[in-house]
Amino acid sequence: MLSSDLFELVQKYNVPGPRYTSYPTAVQLSDQYEQGELDRAFGKRRDKEQAFSLYIHIPFCFSLCWYCGCTKIITKDQDRGDHYLDYLEKEMSLVRETIHPGSTLKQIHFGGGTPTFLSPPQLRRLGALLQSYFKIHPDVEFSVEIDPRRCSEDHIKALAEIGCTRASLGVQDTNEEVQKAIRRVQPFEKTAQVTNLLRKHSILNINFDLIYGLPKQTLPLFHKTIEDVVSLEPDRFAIYSYAHIPSIMPAQKLLDENDFPSTEAKLGMLVYAINKLPDYGYNYIGMDHFAKETDELSLAIKEGTLQRNFQGYSTHAELDMLALGMSGISQGTEFYYQNEKDLGKYYALLDKGELPVFKFLSLSDDDKLRKQIIMQIMCRGEIDYVQFSDQHEISFPKQFSSELESLKQLEADGLLILFEHGFKITSAGRLFLRNIAMVFDAYLQQKNHQTAYSKTV
Ligand code: SF4
Q: Is the CB of 70 within 6 Å of ligand 1?
A: yes
Give, to the nearest 10 degrees, the angle between helix 343-351 and helix 79-96.
50
Q: pLDDT at position 250, please?
A: 87
For 9, 10, 81, 415, 453, the CA distances from 412, given in Å and listed in that order, are: 11, 15, 54, 8, 26
Confidence at residue 315, expressed as pLDDT on a 0 to 100 scale = 75
68, 75, 171, best to mutate for ligand 1 pocket (most atoms within 8 Å of CB): 68
Q: ω before 120 within 30° of 0 (cis)?
A: no
So what's the pLDDT on residue 14?
83
Q: How many CB atoms lie within 10 A of CB 89?
A: 17
Band of the pLDDT at 449, cuts 50, 70, 90? low
The confidence score (pLDDT) of residue 451 equals 59
Residue 107 has pLDDT above 90, yes or no: yes
Q: How far apart are CA 276 and CA 264, in angstroms?
A: 18
> What is the rounded average pLDDT of the residues 45-61?
96
The rounded Å distance from CA 82 to ligand 1 centre is: 20
Asked whether the predicted pLDDT for residue 136 surpasses 60, the reply is yes
Taking 60 as the threshold, does the pLDDT of residue 305 lie above it?
yes
Atom of ligand 1 nearest to the CA of 67: 1
How sure is the predictor about 237, in pLDDT bands with cuts at 50, 70 and 90?
A: very high
Residue 58 has pLDDT above 90, yes or no: yes
Q: In this structure, how many other beta carbons lie within 10 angstroms of the beta carbon of residue 12?
A: 12
User: Measured between alpha carbons, how far is 273 from 85 in angstroms, rounded to an integer?
Assistant: 39
Pocket lining: 114 vs ligand 1, CB cutoff 6 Å: yes
Residue 288's nearest CA partner among 208, 227, 195 is 208
Separation of CA 167 and ligand 1 centre (Å): 16
Q: Is the CB of 404 within 6 Å of ligand 1?
A: no
Percent of the chain with pLDDT over 70: 97
* pLDDT reading at 1 higher than 60: no
The helix (run of H) or strand (run of E) holding residue 321 is strand 320-324
Which tens digit of pLDDT belongs to each residue from 338-394?
Answer: 999 999 999 999 999 999 999 999 999 999 999 999 999 998 899 999 999 999 999
From the CA of 406, how far away is ligand 1's center (Å)?
39
> CATH topology for 365-444?
Arc Repressor Mutant, subunit A (1.10.10)
- Does ligand 1 come within 6 angstroms of the Cβ of 92? no
Stretch 69-96: mean pLDDT = 96
Answer whether residue 54 shows pLDDT above 90.
Answer: yes
**Residue ranges of domains in the chain:** 20-362, 365-444
Q: Whose CA is nearest to atom 4 of ligand 1?
A: 65
Residue 452 has pLDDT above 70, yes or no: no
Confirm or reject: Cβ of 64 under 6 Å from ligand 1: yes
- Please, what sign has the CA dihedral across residues 390, 394, 399, 403? negative
Taking the CA of residue 61 as reference, the ligand 1 atom at the shortest distance is 8
| Confidence check: pLDDT of 310 > 70 | no
The two domains 20-362 and 365-444 share their CATH topology (first three levels equal): no
**Global pTM value:** 0.93
| Ramachandran assignment for 53, one of left (phi > 0), alpha (psi -120 to 50 degrees), beta (any other) | beta
CB atoms inside a 10 Å sphere around CB 421: 14
CATH, domain range 20-362: 3.80.30.20
Q: Which atom of ligand 1 is nearest to the CA of 113?
A: 7
Q: Distance from the CA of 380 to the center of ligand 1, in angstroms?
A: 31
Q: What is the pLDDT of residues 240-299, one digit of tens each?
A: 999 888 988 888 999 998 999 998 899 899 989 999 999 999 998 887 899 999 998 888
Nearest CA to ligand 1 atom 6: 68
User: What pLDDT score does 247 carry?
Assistant: 87
Q: What spacing in Å lies between the alpha carbon of 432 and ligand 1's midpoint? A: 27
Residue 209 CA, ligand 1 centroid: distance in Å: 12
Q: What is the mean pLDDT of the chain?
A: 93
Lowest mean pLDDT: which of 92-96, 119-123, 206-210, 448-452? 448-452
Question: Mean pLDDT across the stretch 135-147?
Answer: 96
Ligand 1 mutation target, pool 117, 145, 147, most atoms within 8 A of CB: 147
Whole-number Å distance, alpha carbon 166 to ligand 1 midpoint, is: 19
Q: Is 267 in contact with 6 (CB distance < 8 Å)? A: yes
Quote the CA–CA distance of 157 and 428 in Å, as a whole number: 44
Nearest CA to ligand 1 atom 7: 113
Least confident of 18-22, 69-73, 138-142, 413-417: 18-22
Q: At what angle do helices 4-13 and 263-276 cross, to 10 degrees?
A: 120
Is the CB of 248 within 6 Å of ligand 1? no
Which pairs from 41-45 meet CB under 8 Å and 24+ separation?
41/332, 41/334, 41/335, 41/337, 41/360, 41/362, 42/98, 44/334, 45/98, 45/99, 45/100, 45/320, 45/332
Cβ–ligand 1 contact at 65 (below 6 Å): yes
User: 64: CA distance to ligand 1 center in Å?
Assistant: 6
428 Cβ inside 6 Å of ligand 1: no
Our answer on whether the CB atom of 68 is closer than 6 Å to any ligand 1 atom is: yes
Confidence of residue 447 (pLDDT cuts 50, 70, 90): low
DSSP result, 48-93 = S--EEEEEEEE-EESS--TT--S--EE---THHHHHHHHHHHHHHH
| Cα radius of gyration rounded to whole Å, the chain | 22
pLDDT at 2 over 70: no
For ligand 1, atom 2, the nearest C-alpha belongs to 113
